[in-house]
Amino acid sequence: MDLLRFITAGSVDDGKSTLIGRLLYDSKSVFQDQLDAIEKAGQVNGEINLALLTDGLKAEREQGITIDIAYKYFSTPKRKFIIADAPGHVQYTRNMVTGASNSDLAIILIDARKGVIEQTYRHSYIVSLLRIPYVAVCVNKMDLVDFSEARFEEIKNQYTEFAKDLGLESIEFIPISALRGDNVVDPSTDMSWWKGNTLLGYLEEVEILSDEKKHQPRFPVQYVIRPQTNEHHDYRGYAGQIRSGSFKKGDAITVLPSGLKSKIKSIDTFAGSVDEAYAPMSVTILLEDDIDISRGDMIVPASEEPSVSQELEADICWMDAKSLLPGNKYLLRQTTGSVKSAVKEISFRIETQTHEKKPADGLSLNEIGRIKLKVAKPIAYDPYAHNRGTGSFVLVDEGTNNTVAAGMLI
The CATH architecture that domain 3-208 belongs to is 3-Layer(aba) Sandwich (3.40)
The full length of the chain comes to: 410
3-state secondary structure (DSSP) of residue 392: strand
The CATH number that domain 213-301 falls under is: 2.40.30.10
Q: CATH 2.40.30.10: which residues of the chain?
A: 213-301, 307-409
| Structure confidence at residue 57 (pLDDT) | 40
| Structure confidence at residue 63 (pLDDT) | 46
| Structure confidence at residue 65 (pLDDT) | 43
| Structure confidence at residue 183 (pLDDT) | 96
Q: Which of 240, 234, 245, 204 is nearest to 221 (CA)?
A: 240
Long-range contacts of 141-144 (CB under 8 A, 24+ apart): 141/14, 141/15, 141/111, 141/112, 141/113, 141/177, 141/178, 141/179, 142/112, 142/175, 142/176, 142/177, 142/182, 142/188, 142/190, 142/191, 143/177, 143/179, 143/180, 143/182, 143/190, 144/112, 144/113
Q: How do beta strands 260-269 and 272-274 pair?
A: antiparallel
Rg from Cα positions in the chain: 24
Topology, domain 307-409 = Elongation Factor Tu (Ef-tu); domain 3 (2.40.30)
| Structure confidence at residue 40 (pLDDT) | 60
Q: What is the DSSP letter of 99?
A: H
Question: What's the sign of the alpha-carbon dihedral 169, 175, 177, 180?
Answer: negative
Q: What is the pLDDT along the chain (410 residues), one digit of tens a residue?
A: 688 999 988 877 778 778 888 888 888 777 666 666 665 665 565 566 666 666 554 344 444 444 455 678 888 999 999 988 766 555 556 777 777 778 899 999 999 999 998 888 888 888 888 888 899 999 999 999 999 999 999 999 999 988 888 878 789 999 999 989 999 999 999 999 999 999 999 999 998 765 455 689 999 999 999 987 777 778 899 999 999 999 999 999 999 999 999 999 999 999 999 999 999 899 999 999 999 999 999 999 999 999 999 999 999 999 999 999 999 999 999 999 999 999 999 999 998 777 789 999 999 988 899 999 999 999 999 999 899 999 999 999 999 999 999 999 99
- Round to whole Å and give the CA distance between 9 and 85: 7
Q: CATH 3.40.50.300: which residues of the chain?
A: 3-208
